[in-house]
């Protein structure tokens, strides 16, 4: 049945002119020349795979403008156009969210019905986290970001509710549950278009899974280009030799006026059978969770922020956003510079300021002091966490179990079981071994466990970065002892 639905969707896409053929005369089937819909269980689930060897910079998919779902394309329906004009105070994203729900409500009469039926029915963005999953993140910053995401979704839903009622949406599409689903769809699947800041929904094009940009250029850590303290952007240029006269074209692609289509290009060389990926931009794991509902086991752009003395911020001109620890445990250039100045007597900071801002150590004593302070701070954070790294690893293994008894066997090894009991009680499972054996978990419980697992994965990665930072500090301290 699923395969039939997929075939029907791809046939519909081909009829709209969506094609992966390198020539303008696309084949009958929308996917066959370059890509195929495949399942990648360990790297994003459903995605697009290469059906042949692909060269970096080669066009691999073209989606005509007429196939994109945008505010403009939905407004061709005069009914919704009239009511949208009455609510011009709504943001473009709110309007596109209403447009999505409106088209969903049309059912088979929607021109995008085959596409809409292939959208995920649930997401795991932070706005969908409940109280239990939110607190499972354990880190104040992550809890705060989650609370803000939930409040924002509720506020925007209330603001748009009058419009949705005027459109006479069906009761199920008026609920907050439907709104947050549509918000998640817009957040995780829209692509940039130059004429609408809300972006567009792009059939087939939104099947690409995420590829993180590479490491930061070494020049950043050497003190060069300090204002660009971020990883390679989504706008990385393709090798000019491969693109000839199109040397300014982006690796991943974008909407091209001359083709009147959204055009996608291979961002790397791919072998037949490889998953073909798309870079959405530079995100930390918390940002990926917030906007897309997933995280990466190894994210070169991840950052960990730790509590700092207010005097650290006032001792230098670095922004708070630049004072972090890299995914590998190394303090950012700005954090090291700020700590070096903070550890310097105030009356001497002006004389050593140029050295600090150039990335130089100020003195052995200064460097030893900040490394000891940083190590001690990371140790304190880890000690104050509700669970340790070993418990988090055991919990993740338990979550992969298929039956209640094995699940509980793993959790018996944990030093703290409070979180386990809280989850079981919240879902009326504490004394119900059958929940894991003779009957399937309820959809609500399964979704909660999926989000709980994401929270544990996130906090585990956070803790590991702190451990890496402690090791980094110890290496520096050892170098002064030799």
pLDDT tens per residue across span 140-196: 999 999 999 999 999 999 999 999 999 999 999 999 999 999 999 999 999 999 999
CA distance 431 to 422: 13
What is the pLDDT averaged over residues 283-310? 91
The answer to whether 62 touches 263, Cβ cutoff 8 Å, is yes
What is the pLDDT averaged over residues 401-417? 73
CA distance 403 to 146: 30
Structure pTM? 0.84
The answer to whether 445 touches 427, Cβ cutoff 8 Å, is yes
Q: Is 246 helix (H, G, I), strand (E, B) or coil?
A: helix
35-40/325-326 β-pairing: unpaired
Joined tokens for residue 412:
């018996």
User: pLDDT grade, residue 233 (50/70/90)?
Assistant: very low
pLDDT score at 223: 36
Integer-rounded Cα Rg, in Å, for the chain is 25
CA distance 278 to 275: 10
% of the chain surpassing 70 pLDDT: 86
CA distance 374 to 359: 17
pLDDT score at 231: 34
pLDDT tens per residue across span 48-78: 899 999 999 888 899 999 999 999 999 888 8
Which one is predicted more confidently, 273 or 427?
273
């Amino acid at each position: 049945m699923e395969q039939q639905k997929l075939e029907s969707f791809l046939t519909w896409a081909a009829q709209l002119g969506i094609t992966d053929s390198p020539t303008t005369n696309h084949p009958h089937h929308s996917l066959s020349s370059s890509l195929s819909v495949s399942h990648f269980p360990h790297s994003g689930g459903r995605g697009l795979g290469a059906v042949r060897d692909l060269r970096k910079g080669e066009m691999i998919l073209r989606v005509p403008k007429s196939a994109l779902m945008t505010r403009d394309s939905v407004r061709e329906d005069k009914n919704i156009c009239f009511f949208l004009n009455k609510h011009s105070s709504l943001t473009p994203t709110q309007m596109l969210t209403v447009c999505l729900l409106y088209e969903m409500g049309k059912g088979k009469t929607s021109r995008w019905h085959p596409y809409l039926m292939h959208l995920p029915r649930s997401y795991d963005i932070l706005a969908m986290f409940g109280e239990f999953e939110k607190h499972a993140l354990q880190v104040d910053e992550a809890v705060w970001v989650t609370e803000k995401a939930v409040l924002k979704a509720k506020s925007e839903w209330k603001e748009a509710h009058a419009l949705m009622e005027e459109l006479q949406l069906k009761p199920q599409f008026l609920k907050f549950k439907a709104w947050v689903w549509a918000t998640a769809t817009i957040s995780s699947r829209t692509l940039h278009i130059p004429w609408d800041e809300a972006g567009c929904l792009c059939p087939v094009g939104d099947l690409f899974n995420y590829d993180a940009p590479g490491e930061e250029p070494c020049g950043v850590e050497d003190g060069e280009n300090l204002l660009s303290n971020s990883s390679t952007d989504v706008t990385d240029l393709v090798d000019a030799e491969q693109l000839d006269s199109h040397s300014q074209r982006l690796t991943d692609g974008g909407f091209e006026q001359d083709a009147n289509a959204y055009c996608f290009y291979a961002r790397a060389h791919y072998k037949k059978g490889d998953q073909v990926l798309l870079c959405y931009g530079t995100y930390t794991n918390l940002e990926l969770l917030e906007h897309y509902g997933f995280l990466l086991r190894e994210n070169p752009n991840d950052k960990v922020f730790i509590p700092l003395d207010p005097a650290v911020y006032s001792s230098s001109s670095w922004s708070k956003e630049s004072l972090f620890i890299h995914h590998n445990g190394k303090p950012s250039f700005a954090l090291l510079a700020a700590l070096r100045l903070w550890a310097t007597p105030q009356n001497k900071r002006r004389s050593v300021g140029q050295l600090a801002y150039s990335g130089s150590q100020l003195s052995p004593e200064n460097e030893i002091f900040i490394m000891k302070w940083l190590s001690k701070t990371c140790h304190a954070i880890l000690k104050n966490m509700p669970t340790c790294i070993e418990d988090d690893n055991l919990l993740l293994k338990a979550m992969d179990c298929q039956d209640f008894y094995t699940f509980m066997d793993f959790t018996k090894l944990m030093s703290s079981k409070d979180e386990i009991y809280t989850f079981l009680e919240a879902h009326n499972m504490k004394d119900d071994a059958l929940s894991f054996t003779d009957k399937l978990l309820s959809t609500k419980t399964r979704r909660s466990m999926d989000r709980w697992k994401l929270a544990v994965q996130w906090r585990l990665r956070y803790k590991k970065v702190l451990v890496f930072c402690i090791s980094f500090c110890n290496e520096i301290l050892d170098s002064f002892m030799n």
